[in-house]
Amino acid sequence: MGREEDRTTVGVVGCGYWGPNHIRNMLSLEASGTVHMKAAVDPDPARRLRIRDLYPQIEVSDGVAAVFSDPDVDAVVLSTPTGTHFRLAGEALRAGKHVLVEKPLATSIAHCEELIRLAAEHELVLMVGHTFEYTAAVNTIQGLVAEGALGEVLYVRSLRVNLGLHRRDVNVLWDLAPHDISIIRFVLDAEPTHVTASGNANVTAGIEDIVSLNLHFGEKAMANVIVSWLDPRKVREMTFVGTRKMLVYDDVAAAEKIRIFDKGVDRPSEYDSFGEFPFAYRYGDILSPKLDDYEPLREQSSHFIDCIRLGKRPRSDGESGLAVVRALAAAQISLRNDGRKVALADPAVLDVEGSGAPPFAD
Amino acid sequence: MGREEDRTTVGVVGCGYWGPNHIRNMLSLEASGTVHMKAAVDPDPARRLRIRDLYPQIEVSDGVAAVFSDPDVDAVVLSTPTGTHFRLAGEALRAGKHVLVEKPLATSIAHCEELIRLAAEHELVLMVGHTFEYTAAVNTIQGLVAEGALGEVLYVRSLRVNLGLHRRDVNVLWDLAPHDISIIRFVLDAEPTHVTASGNANVTAGIEDIVSLNLHFGEKAMANVIVSWLDPRKVREMTFVGTRKMLVYDDVAAAEKIRIFDKGVDRPSEYDSFGEFPFAYRYGDILSPKLDDYEPLREQSSHFIDCIRLGKRPRSDGESGLAVVRALAAAQISLRNDGRKVALADPAVLDVEGSGAPPFAD
Amino acid sequence: MGREEDRTTVGVVGCGYWGPNHIRNMLSLEASGTVHMKAAVDPDPARRLRIRDLYPQIEVSDGVAAVFSDPDVDAVVLSTPTGTHFRLAGEALRAGKHVLVEKPLATSIAHCEELIRLAAEHELVLMVGHTFEYTAAVNTIQGLVAEGALGEVLYVRSLRVNLGLHRRDVNVLWDLAPHDISIIRFVLDAEPTHVTASGNANVTAGIEDIVSLNLHFGEKAMANVIVSWLDPRKVREMTFVGTRKMLVYDDVAAAEKIRIFDKGVDRPSEYDSFGEFPFAYRYGDILSPKLDDYEPLREQSSHFIDCIRLGKRPRSDGESGLAVVRALAAAQISLRNDGRKVALADPAVLDVEGSGAPPFAD
Amino acid sequence: MGREEDRTTVGVVGCGYWGPNHIRNMLSLEASGTVHMKAAVDPDPARRLRIRDLYPQIEVSDGVAAVFSDPDVDAVVLSTPTGTHFRLAGEALRAGKHVLVEKPLATSIAHCEELIRLAAEHELVLMVGHTFEYTAAVNTIQGLVAEGALGEVLYVRSLRVNLGLHRRDVNVLWDLAPHDISIIRFVLDAEPTHVTASGNANVTAGIEDIVSLNLHFGEKAMANVIVSWLDPRKVREMTFVGTRKMLVYDDVAAAEKIRIFDKGVDRPSEYDSFGEFPFAYRYGDILSPKLDDYEPLREQSSHFIDCIRLGKRPRSDGESGLAVVRALAAAQISLRNDGRKVALADPAVLDVEGSGAPPFAD
């Protein structure tokens, strides 16, 4: 183990659903001598009691001041409601703390840009919890696409649905689609240029619980993403259609999360208007590659600590968080305008503020 | 068995993929004494030879004239390319034959209306091969919705994808979505009011092979339909989300094609802005009802013959075929206009002609 | 097409469940000019009528005499109840006809040997309908094992269960296990040396409807086979555990019928009583090879005709049929003797007569 | 919360695979004020360090003396190798501690009886960790069978296989089959009368890694259990065939762990030798009941504490542990004697000592 002064001291803000997982993973990093999981914050007494029972060694408080003003604390993890990200991350950065914040980074482009600016000014790490970018499955897919194993990716289809918590502070687009957008950007290594989105608010007026989102990547590729809180089964399934191979990624499968289909259609080299169906179909083997078995949140926590200690830029940095918010903001405009196609470069995207929820629900 | 003059004499036009199935089913109805499967037509010699080998008792010819001018023939089944439906169905009706035509009925609203008019004028049965309306699964779902077992249906999600034949005469919207539209209309007993559609033409320029279609039923319900010829797996899956229960219909499952989930979210009776999540979630049993086991095409053939013999209106009549084409035409406009929302009542829908394929592909 | 005198003329005896499939496949071979599907026999008038309706070109009669005494008929397919195999195959061979008989070949070793002797004496083909030996899946597995891709096969597990027809003439061992025994012999290229069998007769007294059968291949390998007519689901699943790889074959899967797991345990080269767990586990990729898509019964029919025309010995010849019956007879002894281990070389096996059904059920 | 003196103080012996789960569950019971999770024991320094890191509040020692002689400790949980159960449980009971011991209770009938005697003599709770008896799934099945919903259970089939740890101290029968035997006894509320078992030792000489076990319940019912450490997939599947309904329990399914099939065969009331197949098959709906969602080990821990505090007899008491060991001992004789049928009442069963492993592997 390293000396105490060598360790990165961490505070976790928000002990609801994800917070305790952050604490547990940071604690498991203590064994390597690089981390000291010191403090946790939550306004809710029951949650604080639960943390104390489980981990009596951690300092628990009811407000962020105790952590943000503690000179021992080097870094904070924010797992708080979306609407608080901008304010809390800003305070933490201004207090000189490295910040890992849950997705989405903030609820407007301007807020994202301000956080990026603050991190740069104070020379601090700003990282967004795009957790799927730290899974073995998504990294395997990204590697396959990068090395051309699928050929050119023409189409991505994603289904992320379940009977879910109907939130008041964000709609299902802002709640679930950040995962899809961050995965697709990471795998394709490309930015969407246009989006269309349609949806319905079935349970709470004004808050969509079902959204169908199309991401267009210029003329190159298209992705369809369906997110829903109103579905009988939990489905987390993405299909990547390439010119050479196709891939299905089923995140809820216990085994064979990824299957690569040696299937495809070979386009004729030149268009032959006389011949019929001059395509060669390929139906080949199916390969399910072995994936490393680790907890993605631990990989993400470890990456955050590495970036702090080695002065590296995180894979899911502020710019990445901004790109996801830009796509969400454009989709939000489409969603509220009959599904019309919205360019991410459209100036109206800059004006989107909020996260799909009506103001009174803040 | 009935006397010969009591039987409905049938000719099948088009012996490609579906034609032989129509012939086989009509032959199996001969045993009941109601049908005489007399003649088959195909311009392709190899197909004619195949029919002759299998069924030497059937008269096989290379053109429709032999059948349309045969006074013995009471009814024809048209399983020919989409672009020929209007012309051939029109000729058959004018020749006094009852007509069962494969979906879609025609490629424009005007053509559909003309066929409906002709059938009425000649007092003949005009039926469209919306085969899924004759499956045990879809009829079970329709019954459950009609009796209110699912409550109000809020949302339908359909996935109809596989690595498919890339056609030159229709795009994937006109090829596959007629099934989804006819099923959803039949189950919801409602007409879509607006549609949006996005897609990509990956293999053949100008012919979309992937389309995401949204059907809006006023403020009441929404359906998302994804059709694709470019997918590694064959998926035929529909999810119906109701206020009381949810239902998943997997048409490629060997068993348990339908599962009814006693799951849902109970909306609060009045909006309570103070309480958080005043919803009651229900997670209950899952029931997979036993379905009758029969071949849908045989049921459809039998219904066609019944309608002829009893003077009944078919379940999937000309009006039903027209309604499907109207939705396709509106979707086609949206598809070619950046996914903008198109009302089915929009006059521009009347001008759509073709089936998603560029003119030169006719 | 060949000249008429060049064709092999075929009669099918028994038009119940499998007979019509034999007829259909023989008819489809007519196109190649090698087969003439001439006659069918069944004592049941309804079945004869059904064949006449479907295939008016076939001569249909109510007794075997018409076919066995027809000098035009070169070969017969027997798809009749197990108890009739010996008598009918014997008559056909004595009448100079090549014989393809459904499994099992007969109900005693002596009967099998007599049929083999008759076929040799008359220089005729005697083939048993071990249909699975003609599937793409089983041939792929056999090829993988033969080339050593799985290493040494240590263990085979087979599950062949469903809610099935409770037969009166055979128990579930004689009804279903011939498939497993023929597949395992074919794949391992080895004969079982000993068997044990346990079972229960739940529905009909004296006729087991559930049997667990163990086949021992000397010290080399072991196979467990469970056959049942009393199971809620249809399962046809075999697992082959090799020293290098493992393979799962799911015959009811629509896709991915075979999956090869690069998983195993490497035994230490010498036994080390001090070290704990000196085994290296391998968890690797999973590969689902593409299988050719054809109807196994057509492949089997075609093989039968080829053997007749080219004077070849069938893959599933009389000796193969005898080997399966020998294993069944030994298992029958174990089943009726508290599951004790029975050697296939045990002289008592020669005395087994019948097929698991009490005499009065004949 | 209760006063300190009211709490049951617990020590956990063995911190390998299951030990930490026992500790975590006992800690979670502390919140109810009934438990004090005080001490943990393991001879391995790395395991002790891990416990200290996770739970600094727990006293950790390298031998049982510290716990067995601690007057504060009321109860111990033993999750140590099978071969140590008898000695450690005996010491603990003689030291006046209540004991929860992992399955199997011991390695001979005499040892089990001695532990039962000790517990009775000292008026202490002796409980065996038959964890599945505390799952929602098994309790649901037990309830359905008890109320007659399945009718008379004729047959049980269980498959418990995976690529597993090849143990040196027990064979796969003693490692995995205790689960099946305890579940089947619990669900059927009956004791097996006879067993047969066949198996193979593929990896380590003398230690079977694949076993097929048949349990006979008089003339009433039969169960087949297959356990294996040498299988490509993890399968935990049990099928219960009743006269009224059939049930499949898939423990590795994320959802729909239990499915009840309204399928069956109605036996004719009297035997009719003239009619053919006088059975009525039922193919009906399939129901997957909602199961409560809790951690079985927590339920088991809670039951142990309740029994101590309320002086109750545990569901899986010493007698239950003995019954499982009796079946294992009889199966061990069959396994080593060519699969011959062994009565549980056979005196030879009393002489079985060990757990399927050769003596040198102790």
Which pLDDT belongs to residue B54?
81
For residues C75 and C9, is the Cβ–Cβ distance under 8 A? Answer: yes
List all chains that touch chain D, counting a touch as 3 or more CB pairs closer than 8 Å. A, B, C
Q: Does A146 touch chain B (CB under 8 A)?
A: no
Can you read off the two tokens belonging to residue B157?
A: 């999600």
pLDDT in tens, D110-127: 999 999 999 999 999 999
Closest CA to C290 of A66, A281, D205: A281
Suggest the residue from C23, C26, C54 to mutate for an interface test with chain B (most B CBs closer than 10 A). Answer: C54
Residues 280-309 of D with CB under 8 A from B: 283-290
- The answer to whether the Cβ–Cβ distance between D277 and C165 falls below 8 Å is yes
pLDDT, chain D, mean:
90
pLDDT at D359 over 60: no
* % of chain C beyond a pLDDT of 90: 78
Select from C88, C75, C84, C44 the least CA-distant residue to C62: C44
Using the predicted structure, report yes or no on whether residue A313 has a pLDDT greater than 60: yes
- The residue of chain C with its CA nearest to that of A288 is C286
Query: Pick from A140, A170, A141: which is nearest to A156 by CA?
Result: A141
User: What contacts B333, CB < 8 A, 6 or more positions away?
Assistant: B342, B346, B348, B349, B352
CA–CA dist A115, A121 (Å, integer): 10
Local mean pLDDT, 10-residue blocks, chain B (362 residues): 72 93 92 91 93 89 96 97 96 98 96 98 98 97 97 96 82 96 98 95 90 92 95 95 95 92 67 43 87 93 97 97 97 93 94 72 30
pLDDT given for residue A125 in this prediction: 98
- Please tell me the least confidently modeled range out of C7-16, C28-37, C330-339: C28-37
Q: Choose, out of C140, C263, C283, C288, the residue to mutate when testing the contact with A (most A CBs < 10 Å).
A: C288
pLDDT (tens digit, 9 = 90+) per residue, C297-332?
999 999 999 999 999 999 999 999 999 999 999 999
Q: Which of B159, B198, B264 sits opposite A196 (nearest CB)?
A: B198
Q: CB of C162 within 8 A of CB of C209?
A: no
Sequence length of chain D is 362
Query: What is the C-alpha separation between B74 and B56, in angstroms, rounded?
Result: 21
pLDDT at C76 over 70: yes
| D chain contacts of residue B255, beta-carbon cutoff 8 Å | 286
> Are D157 and D239 within 8 A, CB to CB?
yes
* Parallel/antiparallel/unpaired status of strands C194-200 and C210-217: antiparallel
Q: How far is D58 from chain A (nearest CA, A)?
A: 11
- The single residue listed with the structure tokens 């901008």 is A86
- For the residues of D306-353, what is the DSSP string, one character each? HHHHHTPPPTTBHHHHHHHHHHHHHHHHHHTTTT--EETT-GGGGG--
**3-state SS class at B159:** strand
Q: Beta strands C235-242 and C153-161: pairing type?
A: antiparallel
Which residue would you say has higher pLDDT here, A359 or B39?
B39
Chain A: closest CA distance from residue D139 (Å):
24
Whether cis (ω within 30° of 0) applies to the bond prior to B104 is yes
Phi, psi of C49 (to 5 degrees): -60, -40
Residues of A within 8 A of C289 (CB-CB) are 285
At C33-75, the pLDDT tens digits run 899 999 999 999 999 998 988 888 899 999 999 999 999 999 9
Per-residue pLDDT band at A165 (split at 50, 70, 90) = confident
- Please name the residue of chain D whose CA is at the shortest distance from the CA of residue C340: D340
The pLDDT score that the predictor gives to residue A54 is 81
Which stretch of A145-159, C67-81, D345-359 has the lowest confidence by average pLDDT? D345-359
Q: Do C287 and A285 touch (CB under 8 A)?
A: yes
Question: Do C97 and C68 meet the contact criterion of CB atoms below 8 Å apart?
Answer: yes
Give the integer Cα–Cα distance in Å for D124 and D98: 5
pLDDT per residue over B111-151, tens digit each? 999 999 999 999 999 999 999 999 999 999 999 999 999 99
Rounded to a whole number of angstroms, the distance from the CA of D355 to the nearest CA of chain C is 17
SS3 C273: coil
Q: Which residue of D has its CA nearest to B293?
A: D283
Distance between CA atoms of C71 and A115, rounded to whole angstroms? 94
Higher pLDDT, D284 or D138: D138
pLDDT in tens, C178-193: 999 999 999 999 999 9
CA distance D239 to D219: 19
DSSP state of C84: G
Strands D246-250 and C126-129: unpaired
What is the rounded average pLDDT of the residues A315-344? Answer: 96
Which two tokens mark B68?
């349309």
d(CA C95, CA C118): 11
Residue A19: phi and psi, rounded to 5, are -50, -55
Q: Do B56 and C57 touch (CB under 8 A)?
A: yes
User: Cα-Cα-Cα-Cα dihedral of B319, B320, B324, B329, to 10°?
Assistant: 0
For residue D284, the chain B residues in CB contact (below 8 A) are: 290
Residue whose C-alpha is closest to residue B325's, from B353, B290, B361: B353
Nearest chain B CA: its distance from D263 CA (Å):
10
Cβ–Cβ gap D54/A30 under 8 Å: no
The confidence score (pLDDT) of residue B50 equals 87
Say yes or no to pLDDT of D91 above 70: yes
Task: Specify the pLDDT at position D278.
Answer: 45
Do A112 and A178 form a contact (C-beta atoms < 8 A)? Answer: no
- Long-range Cβ contacts of D272-280 (<8 Å, 24+ apart): D273/C360, D273/C361, D276/C168, D277/C165, D277/C166, D277/C168, D279/C166, D279/C203
- What are the chain B neighbours of C255 within 8 Å (beta carbons)? 233-234
Of B159, B226, B277, the CB nearest to A166: B277
**Angstrom distances, CA of residue A185 to CA of A217, A219, A228, B130:** 10, 16, 21, 40
Interface test with C, best of B32, B54, B233 (most C CBs within 10 A): B54
Residues of C in contact with B254 (CB under 8 A): 234, 252, 254
Residue B284: strand, helix, or coil? strand
Q: Bin A287: left if φ > 0, else alpha if -120 < ψ < 50, else beta.
A: beta
Cβ–Cβ contact D348 with A under 8 A: no
Q: pLDDT digits over D290-313, tens only?
A: 999 899 999 999 999 999 999 999
Residue C275 confidence (pLDDT): 37
Which of B123, B28, B8 is CA-nearest to residue B74?
B8
Give the pLDDT mean for A95-119.
97
Chains near C (3 or more Cβ pairs under 8 Å): A, B, D
Chain C nearest CA to B72, separation (Å): 21
The rounded mean pLDDT for chain B is 90
pLDDT, position C3: 52
DSSP string, B40-91: EE-S-HHHHHHHHHH-TTSEEESSTHHHHT-TT--EEEE-S-GGGHHHHHHH
Long-range residue pairs from A21-30, CB within 8 A, at least 24 positions apart, any chain: A21/A297, A22/A77, A22/A79, A22/A297, A22/A301, A23/A51, A23/A55, A23/A58, A25/A295, A25/A297, A25/A298, A25/A301, A26/A77, A26/A301, A27/A55, A27/D53, A27/D54, A28/A298, A29/A298, A29/A301, A29/A302, A29/A305, A30/D53
**Record: contact C288-A286, CB cut-off 8 A:** yes
Q: How far is C298 from chain D (nearest CA, A)?
A: 31
C-alpha distance from D212 to closest chain A C-alpha (Å): 26
Give D53's contacts in chain A (Cβ within 8 Å). Answer: 27, 30-31
Cis peptide before C20 (omega within 30 of 0): no
The residues near C143 (Cβ < 8 Å, ≥ 6 apart) are none
Provide the pLDDT confidence category of residue A280 given band limits of 50, 70 and 90.
low
Instruction: Using an 8 Å CB-CB cutoff, list chain B residues near C31.
Output: 53
Could you tell me the end-to-end alpha-carbon distance of chain D, in angstroms, rounded to an integer?
45
Tally A–B CB contacts below 8 A.
Answer: 144
Q: What is the pLDDT at residue D276?
A: 41
Inter-chain contact C241–D247, Cβ cutoff 8 Å? no
DSSP run (H or E) holding A24? helix A19-30
- Identify which of C27, C56, C255 has the shortest CB distance to residue B57: C56
CA nearest to D261 within chain B:
B288
Chains touching B by CB (3 or more pairs below 8 Å): A, C, D
Tell me what pLDDT residue D57 has. Answer: 87
For an interface test with B, which of A44, A150, A157 has the most B Cβ atoms less than 10 Å from its Cβ? A157
- Residues C61, C87 contacting (CB under 8 angstroms): no
**Is residue C271 less than 8 Å (CB to CB) from chain A?**
no
pLDDT, mean of residues C147-152 = 96
| Range 50-69 of C in CB contact (< 8 A) with B | 53-54, 56-57
Question: Residue B302 belongs to what H/E stretch?
Answer: helix B296-310
pLDDT at A267: 56
Partner-chain contact A154 B230, CB within 8 Å:
yes
Picking from D207, D179, D186, the residue whose alpha carbon sits closest to that of residue D328 is: D179
Is residue D275 predicted with pLDDT exceeding 50? no
- Per-residue model confidence as pLDDT tens digits over C255-313: 899 999 998 776 554 443 333 444 566 778 999 999 998 999 999 999 999 999 999 99
Q: How many helices (H) does chain A have, and how many strands (E)?
A: 9, 15
Q: Do B288 and D289 touch (CB under 8 A)?
A: no
Check residue C55 and give its pLDDT.
Answer: 86
Restricting to B residues 120-139, those with a Cβ less than 8 Å away from any Cβ of C are none
Q: Which chains touch A (3 or more CB pairs under 8 A)?
A: B, C, D
CA atoms within 13 A on the CB side of A299: 17
Q: Model confidence over D21-42: pLDDT tens digits?
A: 999 999 989 878 899 999 999 9
Tokens of D98: 């209540």
The predicted pLDDT at position A358 comes to 65
Which chain B residue's Cα is nearest to A226?
Answer: B224
For residue C304, how many other CB atoms are within 10 A of its CB? 28
Q: What's the mean pLDDT in D78-104? A: 97
Mark yes or no for CB contact A261/B233 under 8 Å. yes
Q: Which of D121, D39, D117, D34 is nearest to D77 (CA)?
A: D39
Side chain identity at residue D151, one-letter code: G
Task: Return d(Cα D221, Cα A132) in angstroms, integer.
Answer: 50
Model confidence pLDDT, tens digit, residues A198-237: 999 988 888 999 999 999 998 889 999 999 999 999 999 9
Taking residues D46-52, report their average pLDDT: 91
Q: Do B208 and B173 meet the contact criterion of CB atoms below 8 Å apart? A: yes
Structure-block tokens of residue D3: 């006063």
Q: Looking at the predicted structure, is the pLDDT value of residue A356 above 80?
A: no
**Which residue in chain D is spatially nearest to A50 when comparing CA positions?**
D31
Give the pLDDT score at A277: 42
Residue of D169, D200, D244, D285 to mutate, testing the C interface (most C Cβ within 10 Å of its Cβ) = D200
Give residues 222 to 241 of B whose Cβ lies within 8 Å of C: 233-234
Mean pLDDT of chain C: 90
The structure tokens listed for C207 are 């006729």
Largest Cα span, chain C: 77
Amino acid at A183: I
Size of interface B-D (CB pairs under 8 A): 30
Of D267, D277, D360, the CB nearest to C273: D360
Angle at D194 between CA D192 and CA D200, to 5 degrees: 110
Q: What integer pLDDT is reported at residue B286 of this predicted model?
A: 94
Mean pLDDT of the region C106-126: 97
Among B124-138, C53-67, C211-225, D162-176, name the one with the lowest average pLDDT.
D162-176
Residue A270: pLDDT band (50, 70, 90) is very low
- Residue B269's Cβ-count burial label (10 Å; 0-12, 13-18, 19+) is exposed
